[in-house]
Amino acid sequence: MKRFVIFVLLVALSVLALYRWNEQRNPPFRPEKFTPAEGAKLDLNDVKVLAAMEEEYTKLVDAVVPSVVSITASRKVPMGYLVDPFELLFNRRLRGVPQEREQRSLGSGVIVSKEGHILTNNHVVADVDEVRVQLSSGKEVPAKVIGTDPQSDIAVLKIDGENVTPLPLADSDQVKVGQRVIAVGNPFGLEETVTQGIVSAKGRRAMQDSANEFFQTDAAINPGNSGGPLVNLRGEIIGINNAIGGQTGNWAGIGFAIPSNVARRTMDSILKTGHVVRGYLGVVIQPLTPDLAQQFGVKDARGALVAEVTPDSPAEKAGIKSGDVIVKFNGKNVRDVQDLRARVGEIGIGEKADVTVKRGDMESTLTAKIEEQPENLQAGPSRAPANPLQPQIPQQPAMRGALAGVTVNEIPPDHRGDLPENVHGVMVAEVDPNSPAAESLQAGDVIEEIDRQPINSVKDYDRIAQSLNGSEKHMLFIARGRTRSFVVLQPG
C-alpha cells in the first residue's frame, strides 16, 4: 500500500512537471491591452490647401479615367511546321502543317471624339491582326485602325461611339516647364493606373529618327503606358505618352510624351485625307558643325545648313540657295536640322512662311509658300553608288597637301544614274586610309566644289587641289549617291 501511494505521488509530480514545462513553452493566450489614438492628428481646417488639393486631384482623376482605354493588340506569328509522326515511321515524304502562335502586346489609348475615335501610339498597333479595347467600365470591344503614322508614332482607332466620354486636346504650345500633370494608362496590364508629376522639359529629342520633339515628364511611365494621355489640371490632353528614358526599359524618372498639337495635326490629316500630309520646303539640309560654321562665317553652330535646293520647290521660288544657313523659320529660332523639320511640319499646306537665312555676312528674310511633301520624296541617310568607281589609267599625278592620298577620275556615264541629275565634278576612285581626307571622303563620292570653287573636270581638280595647304581646313561640296553635303577636310 505504501509503495502504491509513492507511485501515485511520483506520477502526479511528473504530470505537474510536464504541465509546468508545457506551460512555459506555450503560455496561454492573454488578450493584449490596446488603446487606439483618438481622432485625426490634424483637423482639415488646419491643412485647407492640402485638403483642397486632394479633393481636386480626385475630381480630376474621376473626370479623366472614363476616357482612357486599355488596348490589346494581337497577331499570328509563324512557328515552323508540325510533322505527322506516322510520316517518319513509314519513311514517307514529309508533309508539314504550318504552326502559328498568337503574340499579344499591351498599350493604352484615349477617347477624343463622341464618335469613338481613339488616339494611341503607332507602335502599339503596328503590324497586328486584331485590336481590342477595354473601357473603364470593363466592357471589351473590337477597334478599327483608321490610320497610322510611323514618323510621328501616332495611330487613330475607332470603336462604337455609344456612351463614350471624350477628352479635349489642349494647345501644347502653351505648356510650361514645371506644370503639374497626370499620366493615365495600362502599365504592365494594370488598367486605369494614375501617376502624377510635372513637365520636366520641352523640346526633347527622344529618338533620332522621330519627326517630333517631346515633352519630358517625371510622371511614372512604364511598358503599357504607351498611347495613354498626359493630362493637365483642367482635364485636357497635353501629350500622348510615348517612350521611357534610361537603359532598363522601365521607369527611371524620365518619360516622354508627344505634344498634343502634333497628335491633333496627325489625326486631322488621317481623318480628312487617309494619310498624313506634311509640309515641304524643298531643301536638303545638314547639321551645322563648328567647322562648317567657321567656313560659312557663322558665329555659332545654331541653324540648318542648306546643302541643296530642289528645282521648282518653294525654297527655290523663295530665293534660298545652297550654302545658306537657315537660322529662323516663321520668327522662331532654328536650333538644328530636326528643329527646322519640325517647324516646317507645323505649317499648313499653302501657307506662307518667313525663312531667315545667313549668306556670308548678310542676313535676310525670304518668304516661302509651303507645299505638300511629294509622295516619292525619299528621305534617309546618304548612300554611295552600288559599284564605286575603280582607279583608271591614266590618273592624275599624286596630290600633296589636304587631298594627298585621294585619287579621282572623270565621272563615268554608267554611274550618273546613281547621282543627282545635274551633278558635275570628279569621282573619287580611291582614298588612302592614312590620308587626312579619309575621314571625309570615300570611293564613289563626287567632288563638285573645293573651297566654293566649282570643279568640272580632273584638270580643274588638279589645279585647285595642288594649291591647298595641308595645315589648314578646307571645305568640299560633294555628292554621295543622290545626296549632296558640305564636308570639311581637317589638317593633316
> Are 252 and 303 found together in one domain?
no
> Are 249 and 318 found together in one domain?
no
> Are 264 and 237 found together in one domain?
yes
Q: Is 113 part of any domain?
A: no
Q: Is 417 part of any domain?
A: yes
Note if 153 is an active site residue: yes
- In CATH, what number is assigned to the domain containing residue 251? 2.40.10.10
> Are 268 and 302 found together in one domain?
no
> Are 414 and 367 found together in one domain?
no
Check 153, 324, 339, 418 and give the catalytic one: 153
Position 397 scores a pLDDT of 45
> Are 350 and 434 found together in one domain?
no
Q: Is 84 part of any domain?
A: no
Q: Is 143 part of any domain?
A: no
Choose among 467, 386, 479, 483: nearest CA to 441: 479
> Are 318 and 247 found together in one domain?
no
Position 96 scores a pLDDT of 55
Total tally of structural domains belonging to the chain: 3
Domain end: 273, 303, 318, which one? 273
- In CATH, what number is assigned to the domain containing residue 482? 2.30.42.10
Position 240 scores a pLDDT of 97
> Are 299 and 231 found together in one domain?
no
Q: Is 362 part of any domain?
A: yes
> Are 241 and 310 found together in one domain?
no
Position 172 scores a pLDDT of 93
> Are 254 and 186 found together in one domain?
yes
Q: Is 265 part of any domain?
A: yes
Q: Tell me the residue range of the domain where 289 lies.
A: 280-372
Q: List the chain residues with pLDDT less than 70.
A: 1, 23, 77-100, 206-211, 247, 249, 376-401, 492
Q: Is 247 part of any domain?
A: yes
> Are 176 and 269 found together in one domain?
yes
> Are 476 and 453 found together in one domain?
yes
d(CA 232, CA 234): 5
On whether the CB atoms of residues 147 and 270 are closer than 8 A, the answer is: yes
Check 123, 339, 445, 485 and give the catalytic one: 123
Residue 159's alpha-carbon distances to 140, 240, 475, in angstroms, are: 10, 19, 57
Q: Is 40 part of any domain?
A: no
Domain end: 273, 289, 319, which one? 273
Check 108, 226, 269, 440 and give the catalytic one: 226
